[in-house]
Structures are given as structure tokens and as C-alpha cells.
């Protein structure tokens, strides 16, 4: 299975199995890094969760569309700078996200999935930081 | 038709046309889609506009394969999210009109039978799914037919009789007729005929000179005089005694002639009467009924199930706007603004199946019950809501089992009183009986009346 297919299938499986995704991800992230908590205040948890899941899926769905990615990542970067996100925070997010996906997928989480997500997240962050 | 969506609540009421085999899923077409991909459309009479691709995160990139059959639509679930049809978990089934297709924690679709294109094209000067400028909510064929009927009646300046069960929105329709008519610059005069004291009905309707019929009474123009040049809305006209119906006959004719009580001279009023009743029209005096050139039957929520989700959304929107405490507790917040309600799909599913007898008013009551008895921060099925919905559903099951003869006999045995016949048959109220009469082609009046 190709990397984009693994990403999409594991993410869809996570969303199908974990009704509250990405609540667990945010909990994991803020437990590990309590200093991030004040950043999450503009929206109530519901819209924040929906927005996160939709953006993440949209990125996975559009990995083969460089123009879309460039446009979308530009917006994401400026939003996150506005929220006070700094460079060292990006890896924290990746760790929490991949751990949450692995837990939701259970037996369906393979080393290929781990590898695909790690590589995809690293590429995403590199693209965002390069802007 | 989309009846509930976790991620796209602003798309309620939009439909996915099924003219042939289609793929339903998140995003645009995939190269290896077996069937063409179709998204949600905003369908109104004469137009169907495709919206953007489905963006719900919990709907898989390829979620459903659907094709039309003679019975309804054949649905296959191929996505990661579980599917229930008619409350039963399945991956492959046929869904019929009225069935609900639930994609777990993502969306609820109501299967509706609609023509793919219609010819009429009424004015659409309001946002899709929202209230029109008179407050009528609905995108169903029945709602659009009602708007057409209102527009036509408004254009003719003839007297109108509105028929419909309690809670269907007869006053809203009356205000829409007035608002769309050439008389709209004048204020609508509205009264409930059932609240007029019987001894004073004539004085209330036609007015009186000073100190007549009782000493000390002030001079009054009466409702007919007040509504001169405008519209008089009389609700519950069926409660007006026959004697008073007769008194209205002359003024309803073209000359609009009437006399104030205690006054010898005749006056004229160019009012237009919009009357409403929740009773069978045959119960009105025959020649009184004949004065109403237009009769508009207002559809109940059971006749426009595809509007239940939109009416519910509008009730919730209005509630949040007028009550910050409820807005803070049950509604999401986006960029510090009140956004969509946290609404459990199970409640929407139950409401879409509910045999409403008091329609929008009943829906409003259930919403308030759900809010008032909620234990968490979302609006869902509480034990009180469950009991309320279950009690109503029971009487409907009994009603469908009654055949034509049983209904006709009960009516004959009880002096043709719908209330008493309904009670004798064990029905919840007379509205259930009136629906049965319509279904069996029966009338409250004696045969041959």
C-alpha cells in the first residue's frame, strides 16, 4: 500500500473508532506540555476538534496537489505564528498525534503506518518552517 | 437529504440526487471511483445547485455506493464508519423513502422521494434552509407548495380559509398572505375567534355606537371596521357559532356592507378575511364556507419530514439568540461567536420518525423539554424526552391498525364528533382521527351533506 493510502486509511480508521478524536490528542499534548494550554481559548473544544480533524484529513487528501498544499500551509503557518506557536513546539505535536493514532488503530497500526506518519509529519513541518 | 451533520451543520436540508449509481464520500472524485461521485445540492423548485464536495472528516473518502431501485435506493457502505439504516447496523441494504441512513458520528440522511426537476419557480429571496421573510422554514416540496399557495392567494385579494392542525403555523401563513398582498402597508388585524365572548361577538366584529348594547360602552369600530383596507385574521373560526357565521355573510360579499350595533346606517369595509380552523371545513356553515374562494391546507410536520431538521435548527438558533445562558451551555463557540448547537444525532433520528400531532408547537415543546432536562452540555434524548416521544408513538401504531369501517362506525356512533369518536377508538386526540378520515377518504359531515 502506498504511503498516502496508509495515512488516509489509518486516519479514517481513527476517526471511525474514536468518536472524540482529537480530544485525546489535545489531552496528551497538554499533559506533556502544560505551557500550551493557554493557546486553546478562541473556540470551544467542539469546533477546535472538528477543525483539527478536517484540516489534517484535507492535508492527507491533497498530498498529491503541491499547489493546494502550498496555499494551505501558508495560511496554517501565519495562523500558528499568530497563536504564539514556536519552532520547538512542532515535534511535540507530532509525537502526541502519532501516539493518539497508534492507540486508536490498535492492531491495525503497523510499522509501515508508523514510518509513513513519521515521514509525512517531518515533511509537513519542514515545509511549514521553510516558509 | 442531510438531516444532521457533525462537521457540516450549515448544509442541513441539502440533497444528494440519486438518478443513477453514485459514489458518496469526502472530497472530489477519485480516479478509481466505480460510480460517478455526487455531492450535496441545494435543491429548490426549478433549480438544483451542486455545493462543494463533502468535507465531513468522519465520512470516508469513499463511504457509500448508492443506486436507485424500483423500491428506493440500494446502499452499500464501503467506508470505515459504521452505517445504520432504519436503526439496524448493516453494510448492504435497500432504503425506502422515509428511511434514515446514519453514518456513525458523522451524518444522518433521510431518504426522500422527490422529482429531480420541477417547473414552478417561486421567488427565493432568503438563504437556503433558513426562514423566509415571513418566518416560514422549509425546503421540502410541501413547504414550497405552501409558499406558492400563499403567493397566489395574496395576489388575488379574495377571502382565504387556512386549514390545518394546531401548531402547523396558520398565523404565520396569514401574516405571509397579508405581507405579500397589496394591503401590506396597513397593519394586520388579528383575533382568535374562540376568545370572543359569545354575547359580544357581534359587537366585537362589527363595532357599536356609544352605550349600545350596554350603557357606558364606548364607541368601537369593530374588527371589520378596524381592518378596512387591510386584512382581518380570525383564528379558530370553527369556534364561531353558526348564528355569527350567518352575520358575516353580507360583509364578506363584494360590497363589504355592515352595520355597527345600534346604528341604522350601513357602512362599508374593504377588508380581506383570512380565517383559520383546525376542524374539518365541512363543520362550517355551508354558505359561510362558500365565501372562502381560496382554501389552503397547511402541511403538518409529518407531511414534510424533510423539513424537521431545518425547523429544529431554526428553533435552536432563535433560542440561542434570545437566551445567552442556553447559548453558553449548549452551543459551540467559534472565534468568540455562538455557533452550531451540540445536538445528539439520536434525538434528530427520533424526531424525524415522530408522529407529530401538534407539529411545530410540539417540536418546540420537545426541544425545551430536552434543554430543561439535559444533564450534560448537549441537547439529546433525556428520560423525559424519551417518555414523551414514546407516549406519542404508541397512539400512532394503534391508529394505523384501524380500518375504514371502524373509523366510520365510531364517528356515526358518537354524533359525528371527532373528539368523542377519537376517544372511543382509544386515539390520543382528534387530530389523529382527522388524519385517519383523510386517509380513508371519509368526512366528518354526514354522507350527502
Q: Which residue, chain included where needed, has cell 357565521? A: B245
Averaged pLDDT for residues A94-120: 96
- Mean pLDDT for chain A? 89
* d(C-alpha B270, C-alpha B234), whole Å: 16
Which of B5, B57, B105, B341 is the best mutation test for A, with the most CBs of A within 10 A? Answer: B57
Chain B contacts of A13, Cβ < 8 Å? 80
Interface touch A46/B342, C-beta < 8 Å: yes
- The pLDDT of residue B396 is 53
Q: Which residue, chain included where needed, has cell 384501524? A: B402
Looking at the predicted structure, is the pLDDT value of residue A73 above 50?
yes
Interface touch B334/A43, C-beta < 8 Å: yes
* d(C-alpha B6, C-alpha A16), whole Å: 13
- The pLDDT of residue A101 is 97
- The pLDDT of residue B214 is 84
- The answer to whether the CB of B162 falls within 8 A of the CB of B328 is no
* d(C-alpha B8, C-alpha A96), whole Å: 27
- The pLDDT of residue B395 is 57
Shortest Cα distance, chain B CAs vs residue A119, angstroms: 22
Shortest Cα distance, chain A CAs vs residue B374, angstroms: 18
Interface touch A19/B334, C-beta < 8 Å: no
Averaged pLDDT for residues A5-18: 94
Q: Does B390 touch chain A (CB under 8 A)?
A: no
pTM: 0.85
Q: How many CB atoms are located within 10 Å of the residue B131 CB?
A: 17
- The pLDDT of residue B447 is 54
Which of A22, A46, A72, A83 is the best mutation test for B, with the most CBs of B within 10 A? Answer: A46
Q: How many CB atoms are located within 10 Å of the residue A120 CB?
A: 19
Q: Which of A8-17, A64-73, B43-52 has the highest mean pLDDT?
A: A8-17
Interface touch B332/A58, C-beta < 8 Å: no
Helices (H), A18-130: 23-32, 45-61, 66-83, 89-105, 111-129
* d(C-alpha B177, C-alpha B179), whole Å: 6
Chain A contacts of B105, Cβ < 8 Å? 19
Interface touch A43/B80, C-beta < 8 Å: no
Could you tell me which of B179, B146, B176, B141 has the C-alpha nearest to residue B163?
B146
At residue A57, what are phi and psi to the nearest 5 degrees?
Answer: -65, -40
Chain A contacts of B376, Cβ < 8 Å? none
Could you tell me which of B308, B329, B327, B332 has the C-alpha nearest to residue B316?
B327
Flag residues of chain B having pLDDT under 70: 117-123, 393-400, 428, 446-449
- The pLDDT of residue B398 is 59
Nearest CA in chain A to B332: A44
Q: Is the peptide bond preceding residue B392 cis, with omega within 30 degrees of 0? A: no
DSSP B397-447: HHHHH--HHHHHHHHHHTTT-HHHHHHHTT-SSHHHHHHHHHHTT--SSPT
* d(C-alpha B217, C-alpha B220), whole Å: 9
- The pLDDT of residue B47 is 83
- In total, chain A counts a number of residues equal to 131
Radius of gyration from C-alpha coordinates of chain B: 25
Interface touch A12/B79, C-beta < 8 Å: yes
Amino acid at each position: 500500500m502506498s504511503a498516502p493510502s496508509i495515512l488516509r486509511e489509518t486516519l479514517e480508521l481513527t476517526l471511525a473508532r474514536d468518536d472524540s478524536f482529537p480530544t485525546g490528542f489535545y489531552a496528551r499534548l497538554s499533559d506533556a506540555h502544560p505551557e500550551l494550554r493557554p493557546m486553546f481559548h478562541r473556540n470551544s473544544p467542539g469546533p477546535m476538534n472538528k477543525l483539527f480533524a478536517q484540516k489534517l484529513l484535507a492535508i492527507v487528501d491533497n498530498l498529491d496537489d503541491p499547489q493546494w498544499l502550498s496555499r494551505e500551509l501558508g495560511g496554517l503557518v501565519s495562523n500558528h505564528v499568530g497563536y504564539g506557536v514556536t519552532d520547538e513546539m512542532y515535534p511535540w505535536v507530532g509525537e502526541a498525534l502519532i501516539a493518539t493514532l497508534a492507540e486508536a488503530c490498535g492492531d491495525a497500526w503497523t510499522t509501515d503506518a508508523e514510518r509513513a506518519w513519521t515521514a509525512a509529519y517531518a515533511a509537513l513541518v519542514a515545509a511549514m518552517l521553510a516558509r | 437529504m442531510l438531516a444532521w451533520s457533525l462537521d457540516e451543520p450549515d448544509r442541513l436540508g441539502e440533497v444528494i440526487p440519486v438518478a443513477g449509481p453514485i459514489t458518496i464520500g469526502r472530497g472530489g472524485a477519485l480516479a478509481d471511483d466505480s460510480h460517478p461521485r455526487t455531492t450535496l445540492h441545494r435543491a429548490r423548485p426549478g433549480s438544483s445547485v451542486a455545493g462543494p464536495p463533502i468535507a465531513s472528516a468522519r465520512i470516508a473518502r469513499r463511504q457509500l455506493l448508492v443506486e436507485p431501485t424500483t423500491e428506493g435506493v440500494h446502499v452499500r457502505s464501503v467506508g470505515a464508519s459504521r452505517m445504520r439504516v432504519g436503526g439496524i447496523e448493516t453494510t448492504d441494504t435497500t432504503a425506502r423513502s422515509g428511511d434514515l441512513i446514519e453514518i456513525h458520528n458523522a451524518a444522518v440522511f433521510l431518504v426522500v422521494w422527490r422529482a429531480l426537476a420541477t417547473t414552478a419557480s417561486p421567488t427565493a429571496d432568503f438563504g437556503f434552509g433558513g426562514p423566509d421573510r415571513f418566518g416560514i422554514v422549509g425546503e421540502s416540496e410541501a413547504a414550497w407548495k405552501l409558499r406558492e399557495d400563499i403567493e397566489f392567494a395574496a395576489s388575488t385579494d379574495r377571502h382565504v380559509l387556512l386549514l390545518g392542525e394546531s401548531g402547523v403555523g396558520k398565523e404565520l401563513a396569514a401574516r405571509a398572505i397579508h405581507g405579500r398582498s397589496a394591503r401590506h402597508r396597513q397593519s394586520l388585524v388579528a383575533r382568535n375567534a374562540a376568545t370572543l365572548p359569545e354575547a359580544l361577538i357581534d359587537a366585537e366584529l362589527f363595532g357599536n355606537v356609544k352605550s349600545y348594547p350596554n350603557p357606558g360602552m364606548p364607541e368601537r369600530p369593530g374588527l371589520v371596521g378596524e381592518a378596512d383596507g387591510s386584512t382581518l385574521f380570525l383564528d379558530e373560526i370553527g369556534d364561531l357559532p353558526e348564528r355569527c357565521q350567518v352575520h358575516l355573510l353580507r360583509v364578506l360579499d363584494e360590497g363589504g356592507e355592515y352595520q355597527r350595533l345600534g346604528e341604522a346606517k350601513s357602512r362599508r369595509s374593504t377588508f380581506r378575511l383570512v380565517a383559520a380552523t383546525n376542524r374539518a371545513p365541512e363543520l362550517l356553515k355551508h354558505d359561510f364556507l362558500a365565501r372562502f374562494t381560496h382554501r389552503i391546507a397547511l402541511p403538518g410536520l409529518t407531511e414534510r419530514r424533510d423539513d424537521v431538521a431545518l425547523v429544529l435548527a431554526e428553533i435552536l438558533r432563535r433560542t440561542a439568540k434570545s437566551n445567552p445562558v442556553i447559548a453558553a451551555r449548549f452551543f459551540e463557540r467559534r472565534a468568540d461567536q455562538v455557533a452550531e448547537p451540540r445536538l445528539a444525532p439520536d434525538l434528530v433520528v427520533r424526531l424525524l420518525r415522530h408522529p407529530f400531532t401538534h407539529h411545530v408547537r410540539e417540536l418546540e415543546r420537545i426541544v425545551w423539554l430536552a434543554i430543561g432536562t439535559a444533564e450534560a452540555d448537549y441537547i439529546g434524548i433525556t428520560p423525559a424526552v424519551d417518555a414523551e416521544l414514546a407516549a406519542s408513538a404508541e397512539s400512532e401504531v394503534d391508529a394505523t391498525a384501524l380500518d375504514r369501517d371502524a373509523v366510520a362506525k365510531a364517528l356515526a356512533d358518537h354524533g359525528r364528533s371527532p373528539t368523542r369518536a377519537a376517544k372511543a377508538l382509544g386515539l390520543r386526540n382528534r387530530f389523529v382521527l382527522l388524519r385517519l378520515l383523510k386517509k380513508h377518504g371519509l368526512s366528518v359531515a354526514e354522507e350527502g351533506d
